[in-house]
Structure 1
Amino acid sequence: MFSEPERAISRRMLTAFAEASGRLNVTMATAPKSWGWQGRTLSGRVDTPVGPAWLRLVHARTDKANGKLWEGPRAADDCVPSAVPRPCLRRRLAWTESADSYLGELYDFVAEPTVTTDGPILHQRPDLPDAWWVALRTALETVSAVATDRVTVRQAYLDRAMPQFLGHEIDTTVPAWSTAHGDLHWANLTGPTLTILDWEGWGIAPAGFDAAMLHTYSLLVPEVSGQVRDHLGDVLDTQAGRFAELVVITQLLQTNSRGDNLELEEALRQRAAELLEDVPNGRAVRQTSP
């Protein structure tokens, strides 16, 4: 999904991936592997006695391991209904090497490709059948009703970040909360048959957060962002949905400030301006200086 990180990180992760393969008694396949953001994860196909599987390796500093991100996929396997299409988590193991901790997760192999293979941003219209959109809508409705104490987006973050990155002082009180996948972009969705990947960050978020994220990552292809609105408009075209869009835009503008997702910046600012014009009376207070 992301480019290979600097050599030291790459060598460390490849060594750990081989270690995880040995500990799980699987054989590394020759197929290319997939890197996560800044080399935090490394994933790839492996072979087992009963067929192919998918091995995902996660790295964290030892003092940051065992938190909610670390435990997310296992919690999803326990709590999210099996009707939501996702790969089954077969086995997992964790180990520590000094200041570095690693988590190896062995999943069912998903043959369907992800909608995008070069990152979360959509650049061209995918050929997705109506049944895909119906399955997505059903899955998001199911996830939104899952009871959990996991938190994906915190009110304290919104209070601080939304005025800063939107350039407006607004009422940052979340209108409604629900459970979300939390990272619903095009590189975490397969097609033409839907599977939803990467469940490490799921939890409570502003209602409509998943739909808002998919819409935002579609802004460079207006035809597809329109499709998202067509199929998920009853979520997005509400006060809560518009607020969720502003939340996602805030998060991505923050990544822009770190040099990431820069090709989206102009579209993010344009969409934010449109949403802020429609904010109900009393929610937008005043524009701040840049």
Structure 2
Amino acid sequence: MTLSVPSARAVDLRVEPVDDVLDRVERSLQVHLDQGTVVRKRRSVGARTDRDTWVRVERRCLDKIGVQGWNGNECAARLKGIAQPAWQACVVWRDADELVMWRADETELLPGTPIGTAVLSEDPKLPDGWWQALSSSMDALAAQDTRRVATPDTVTITQALVTESIRSAFSGNFDTAVERWVPTHADLNWANMTAPTYCLFDWEDWGNAPRGLDSASLWGSSLAVPALADRVREERRHDFESRDGKLMTLFVCSKILGPDAHPEDPQLEPARRMAEQVVAELQTG
């Protein structure tokens, strides 16, 4: 028998008061957070500490915490061959008033600056060495083993979710069954990587997912800059040319082209064109 957990209210930590939360983090980790460095996102808040580390605090509803737990950043510390900030410590607690949990992870500082927002509107003009480091880390990640299952956007990815997402947006006589599942970051976008030194951070949702999810996600967040989207496809060509990579391209396109899409979104037209091409390839392949 599966017990459902009631949903808590949705909040945006960019505007939600978090002073009490940050005070608790400071006491628990015995650090002082530099208020001048605070970065607030929709579901996380981060800041530099007085011991030259970084603390990321996330709020998550209980119904978004599955049986594998909620320790992605901690579990990612054992991964090898991947450019990521070293994990050091954490504190986790259940909110006294709401059906949510809070988690603060302390890591070493990033070696560079986050490249931008999740979706870019300008080409960051990254050097060839950066792209080589990206592919090296992604290939190393896919070669590892884990029992974790990826939770992109805090939703556990399953074959049923892949099929439902693709079928909701695209018609055609092709199979949506995934052939290969591999360890995946599951939130690969331009806000979670640094430059000029490459580093990939925010590992809370990583786990097994269909091959090509990360590559397709990064391509999707690049569509407003056509040359950048083309570079992603070129660098990760072996993912995009695989059958699973084509399915993941449709999976990402289904989110971009969904019912809530803004008609002036620059991602819409290139996503629509690519989806038509991929559907045709899957039907004839």
* TM-score between both structures, scaled by the size of structure 1: 0.83
Contact 1:185/1:213 (<8 A) preserved: yes
Residue from 236, 248, 272 that aligns with 1:269: 272
Change (3 A) 1:63 1:164: closer
Is the counterpart of residue 156 in structure 1 residue 160 in structure 2? yes
Deviations 1:201-224 (A, max 9, x none): 111111122111111211111111
| Corresponding position of 1:5 | 12
Check whether the contact 2:45–2:57 (CA below 8 A) recurs between aligned residues. yes
Aligned 1:81-120 pairs, distance under 5 A: 81=80, 83-98=81-96, 99=98, 100-116=100-116, 119-120=117-118
SS for the counterpart of 2:187 is coil
Counterpart of 2:8? none
CA separation of 1:10/1:231 partners in 2, compared to 1, >3 Å: closer, same or farther? same
Contact 2:111 2:199 in 1 (8 A): no
In the alignment, structure 1 residue 56 sits paired with structure 2 residue 21: no
User: Could you say which structure has the higher helix fraction?
Assistant: 1
Checking the alignment, whether the CA contact within 8 Å between 2:169 and 2:254 is kept in structure 1 is yes
Alignment of 1:47 with 2:50, yes or no, is yes
The unaligned stretches of length 5 or more in structure 1 are: 284-290
| Structure 2 counterpart of 1:131 | 129
The verdict on how the C-alpha distance between 1:258 and 1:107 changes in structure 2, with shifts beyond 3 A counting, is farther
Given that residues 61 and 101 in structure 1 are in contact (C-alpha distance below 8 angstroms), is that contact kept between their aligned partners in structure 2? yes
Q: Partner of 1:279 in structure 2?
A: 282
How far does residue 6 in structure 1 lie from its aligned partner after superposition? Answer: 7.3
1:35 to 13, 34, 40: 40
Could you tell me the percent identity over the aligned residues? 25
**1:22 partnered with 2:20:** no
The whole-number CA distance in structure 1 between the counterparts of 2:141 and 2:218 is 15
Deviations 1:179-202 (A, max 9, x none): 211111111110111000111111
Q: SS of the counterpart of 1:47? A: coil
Are residue 187 (structure 1) and residue 168 (structure 2) matched? no
Letter of the aligned partner of 1:106 in structure 2?
A: E
- Quick one: which of 225, 232, 247 aligns to 1:228? 232
Q: Quick one: distance in 2 between partners of 1:69 and 1:135?
A: 30
What's the offset of the Cα at 1:29?
0.8
Tell me the distance in 2 between the aligned counterparts of 1:69 and 1:127.
Answer: 38
Q: Secondary structure at the match of 1:70?
A: coil
Shift of 1:66: 6.8
Q: Which residue identity is paired with 1:219?
A: L
The reply to whether residue 239 of structure 1 matches residue 243 of structure 2 is: yes
Which AA in structure 2 matches 1:139? Answer: S
Aligned residues: 267
Deviation at 1:170, TM superposition (A): 4.1
Unaligned runs of 5+ in 2: 1-10, 151-156
Contact 1:29/1:47 (<8 A) preserved? yes
**Cα root mean square deviation, aligned:** 2.6
Between the aligned partners of 2:216 and 2:69, the Cα distance in structure 1 is 21
| Counterpart Cα distance in 2 of 1:114 and 1:69 | 27
**Corresponding residue for 1:257?**
260
Q: CA deviation at 1:258?
A: 7.7
Q: Which moved more, 1:225-234 or 1:138-147?
A: 225-234
TM-score, length-scaled by structure 2 = 0.84
